[in-house]
Chains A and B, each alone.
Chain A
Amino acid sequence: MTGDVPLLEVRNLVKHFHVGGGLFGGRAGIVRAVEGVSFEIRRGETLGLVGESGCGKTTVGRCLLQLERPTSGQVLFEGRELTTLGDEELRPIRRRVQVIFQDPYSSLNPRMTVGQILAEPLMVHGIVVDRERRAARVRELLSHVGLLPQHAHRYPHQLSGGQRQRVGIARALAVEPALIICDEPVSALDVSIQAQIINLLEDLQAGFGLTYLFVAHDLSVVRHISDRVAVMYLGRIVEITDRKSLYDVPRHPYTKALLSAVPIPDPALEAERERVVLGGEVPSPLNPPAGCAFHPRCPIAIDRCREALPELREITTGHRAACILA
């Protein structure tokens, strides 16, 4: 993968939401959901985007699709800048970028059969106009995701959680996308089903040459599926590198704390394990702390951390962290 243009490139993405100051005269404020995020995703790779709730990872995903218009910054998909395009111009691009959601139940129309749900995008985008051929394509999609032809006649409520997620994946595949944003795709599923869905996503990636942005909070799952990983805290990427470096030699104290908080299903190992339990909670993005946003919870913070915002700098080749002590 040398020299070619990345499939997706995000440059200095910023998204602010204005809140309050409305009818009831609450104090107006700015939620700094995303504060200057940059990354790229190469064709065929999976970038994991991890962080706790409110860190801005879902907003980043929505800004890529232009479902939220960024406050500033650029989103280049296949070399084309998306933030300046109108809705009509975006339509063919939305076919190339699809989303799989956490809760397939709320994103599937309960009044449509699985067959209708899968046929709809084929009609809307004019991909398969002939009715017979559309039915054949629906059967093919079902088999790609491990469902049977008779599932086409069922309604979402007649399926289990894992089967519904398979339908969500089939719907994303229907329009033959290049990039799929997977937003917490397994966190609502039972443990025994999560592994099935992850294996399926990997098979489809290999089979169709898909590229994934995998947004999740579960660091064990992210390690399994990602080639590279970005860690977000309060609207910013604090560390980004390839999978092996991130898990073997994490450089940012927040990444280290996150890794240490992941429980290991082995009481003997857990008993010996030294745990960094972080104090405090994620501060509000309405009023982020000065300097490094992580300093109030950081076990190694020094005076300088309270003053200057650390830049995301290269520590070793391809391994960047935003910490002056890394």
Chain B
Amino acid sequence: MLHSAGVSTLLSVENLQTHFVTRGGVVRAVDDVSWDVEEGETVALVGESGCGKSVSALSIMRLVAGPAGRVVGGRVHFKGRDLLQLSEEEMRRVRGREIGMVFQEPMTSLNPVLSIGRQLTEGLEIHLGMTPGAARRRAVELLGMVGIPDSERRLTQYPHQFSGGMRQRMMIAMALACKPSLILADEPTTALDVTIQAQILELMKDLSRRFGVAMLIITHNLGVVARYADRVNVMYAGRIIERATARELYARPRHPYTLGLLRSVPRLDEPRRARLDPIEGQPPDLTRLPQGCAFTPRCAFSVARCSAEPPPLAPVADGGHVSACWESARLDRAAARSAAAS
């Protein structure tokens, strides 16, 4: 699916590089990564722990913890400005007001000694200059929007009086408060039970449609984003190794890592297999990455060239499908053969 003309790019990350200095050496947590989000679009950044997906989001928001961690290169264009060049003062206006944030564990990002109402109205008064009365009315409206009933009373309560699902709804209300054009959601449902996960994801999708807010969803779970993302970026060892529309990526993965992830999980919609098909080996040690493709030691498709030369992210099909694999053509033929066989 091509992007229709007239839709413009909201966020564009170009050649982003974020390094951490550790005792074991320099970790290239984000290693020359480029991707974008169109207005109103939902984009996913998928990968396992340590792949650089969360650090990417923190880098964009300029929240990487120094001095060990530092954005060492790249540009982050957002509404015509490079966020990496803004003053700290200007950046504070972007955070919370133009870009909302939702994190995995709402309890650690909410202030335990401030009432729910105060946490909502504070941003409205500071960012939008609302009067306390107007902010209060907006807060009641926001809680209603995210499905928290009895909102007048709820505003006087504290985070510990909310359940996990309710706290996450509250985080979403806070992220939406100043009508941002983009919401960054880092593992927004990972800490929640399955039935609550479904509620929260449906809510986020609904709100993003209603208000035309773009979303960046960061997750390790390919299942979660299948239903909600328009486009998916898969990361491994600090790089994007594949990107496509969600439909294309799940139907025709063109990187061995993406294929491995999809094959390794048991699925309820398929007959039960006698044995699972794991990706062998261990996740990479980021301080000692191989010279070529970082996935080579675990890859079933690797050839001599893979360990010598890192493959570039190159087009493999229409609709912006790109893959960083020397053998991506072979992968497509293998998939076609197994589809014909079944």
Q: Do A and B bind each other?
A: yes
| Shortest beta-carbon distance from B301 to chain A in Å | 15
With known contacts A199-B278, A278-B198, A192–B227 Cβ distance under 8 A: no
Say if the beta carbon of B275 comes within 8 Å of chain A.
yes
Q: Tell me how many residues of A have a C-beta within 8 Å of chain B.
A: 45
Closest to B260 in A: A192
Annotate B214-234 by CB proximity to A: 1 below 8 A, 0 otherwise: 000000111110110000000
Closest to A197 in B: B278
In the complex, which residues of chain B have a beta carbon less than 8 angstroms from the beta carbon of A277? 195, 198-199, 202
Contact check, A267 vs B247: say whether CB atoms are below 8 A apart. Answer: yes
With known contacts A52-B195, A160-B282, A224–B221 Cβ distance under 8 A: no
Give the complex CA separation of A267 and B272 in angstroms: 20
Contact check, B227 vs A223: say whether CB atoms are below 8 A apart. Answer: no
Contact check, B269 vs A269: say whether CB atoms are below 8 A apart. Answer: yes
Give the complex CA separation of A167 and B264 in angstroms: 22
In the complex, which residues of chain A have a beta carbon less than 8 angstroms from the beta carbon of B202? 275, 277
| Shortest beta-carbon distance from B192 to chain A in Å | 9
With known contacts A191-B221, A195-B278, A281-B163, A266–B269 Cβ distance under 8 A: yes
Say if the beta carbon of A64 comes within 8 Å of chain B.
no
With known contacts A220-B266, A277-B198, A270–B227 Cβ distance under 8 A: yes
Contact check, A264 vs B223: say whether CB atoms are below 8 A apart. Answer: yes
Interface segment, A22-30, A254-262, A285-293?
Answer: A254-262
Say if the beta carbon of A93 comes within 8 Å of chain B.
no
| Shortest beta-carbon distance from A277 to chain B in Å | 5
Interface residues on B, range: 35 or more
Say if the beta carbon of A265 comes within 8 Å of chain B.
yes
With known contacts A196-B278, A199-B278, A224-B266, A267–B199 Cβ distance under 8 A: no
In the complex, which residues of chain A have a beta carbon less than 8 angstroms from the beta carbon of B260? 192
Say if the beta carbon of B36 comes within 8 Å of chain A.
no
Q: Which residues of B does A touch, CB under 8 Å?
A: 48-49, 163, 165-166, 193-199, 202, 220-224, 226-227, 246-247, 250-251, 260-262, 264-269, 272-273, 275-280, 282-283, 298
Can you list 26 A-B pairs, Cβ within 8 angstroms, ordered by A? A52-B193, A160-B283, A191-B48, A192-B264, A192-B298, A195-B277, A195-B279, A196-B280, A199-B276, A202-B275, A217-B194, A220-B266, A220-B267, A261-B198, A262-B223, A264-B223, A264-B226, A265-B223, A265-B267, A266-B250, A267-B227, A268-B251, A271-B227, A275-B198, A281-B163, A281-B166
**Other CB < 8 Å A-B pairs besides A224-B266, A263-B226, A265-B262, 11 of them?**
A53-B193, A191-B261, A192-B264, A193-B279, A220-B265, A220-B266, A260-B198, A263-B221, A275-B202, A278-B198, A281-B166
Q: Which residues of A does B touch, CB under 8 Å?
A: 52-53, 160-163, 190-196, 198-199, 202, 217, 219-221, 223-224, 243, 247, 257-271, 275, 277-279, 281-282
